[in-house]
Amino acid sequence: MSFTRRGVLASGATMVALLGRGARAANAEPAFSPASGRLFPLGELSSDRVVPRAVDVWVPDGATAENPARVVYVHDGKNFFDPAQSYSGVAWEMDDAMTKLAGEGIEPAVVVAIASPSDADRPREYNSRHLWDRLTPKTRAVMARSCGGEVRSDDYLAYLTETVMPRIEADFPVRRSRSDTFLLGSSMGALISLEALASHPDRFGGAGCLSAHLMGFGPFAQDEALRPTDEQVAEVTAAVGAFAANDLPAPDLIRLWIDRGTEELDEHYPPFQESFEAGAERAGFTPGDGYRAQVFKGTGHHERYWAARLPEVLRFLLG
């Protein structure tokens, strides 16, 4: 059974499995030795804006106070290094991808891996306030119920910029300029990366957004009483285009990668990504060195697919 008569959204079981990615990843203890560089578990960083969550920092070989590196902040951070801590049991193998880039002559970056919030908080914290603000009250109510409550991206991004980033910039060899600071995430982690670009254009110079969950509806939308109507889905689709056209930094200020697959949850993404691409075009984004919108046929909504294309994404952001 699909969420709408047209089947725009995935089945409830699929949505719960694919969007509820937080609890296991947030609670696992680091126990992993990377293939290169060093991984530093910082434990849980606290804030009065969100529930504390673990932060791990991978530092590439050669990064020092005298030779600081660029930095990539990644969401759902426990999925990036150690398969034993990953939500799905498959990691993105970030250390291997960075090592591969170094072998190609591309300077690797420090990676700051911020663990997922709980399953209850993730759909709210990783959603988009800019998208939410464009919706009618009735559609907002449906989205809020499907996400377990009103959007809280402001709180999460305050945690990122006011708690995590100052700690990293004080204690690790990273450059502090906007142009050297990037974001990376998949699914709703991709959505919050876009929201961060729009909300803090002075802090981030680009983002890699894989299987971007632009629709915004959360894992509880399988409940028949919480399903959006076709009209509400169309409203969100239009809002996605307006977000891309009006809220992102200027094309010459950021590097932006956005993609989707064609299977599993990604099968339902075409109208949302097409609306985003049309809006981005209106804003002056053109495919090339600084902007890439991709479709990976035959791939789905899973770490194994994101890991496979991670080197290409990093090459785009950091090359």
What residues does each domain of the chain span?
A: 12-318
Say what the pTM is.
0.91
Q: Band of the pLDDT at 222, cuts 50, 70, 90?
A: low
Greater confidence, 151 or 13? 151
The mean pLDDT value for 79-84 works out to 92
Q: Band of the pLDDT at 6, cuts 50, 70, 90?
A: very low
Q: Band of the pLDDT at 309, cuts 50, 70, 90?
A: very high
- For 112, the enclosing helix (H) or strand (E) is strand 110-114
The mean pLDDT value for 275-296 works out to 97
CA gap 144, 112 in Å, rounded? 29
The mean pLDDT value for 58-74 works out to 97
CA gap 284, 64 in Å, rounded? 38
The mean pLDDT value for 273-278 works out to 98
The mean pLDDT value for 158-183 works out to 98
The mean pLDDT value for 9-27 works out to 44
Q: Which CATH number fits domain 12-318: 3.40.140.10, 3.30.360.10, 3.30.420.40, 3.40.50.1820?
A: 3.40.50.1820
Do residues 290 and 255 touch, judged by C-beta distance below 8 A?
Answer: yes
The reported pLDDT for the residue numbered 51 is 95
The mean pLDDT value for 257-283 works out to 97
- Closest of 18, 22, 42, 164 to residue 86, by C-alpha: 22
Q: Cα-Cα-Cα-Cα dihedral of 164, 25, 267, 4, to 10°?
A: -90
CA gap 318, 288 in Å, rounded? 14
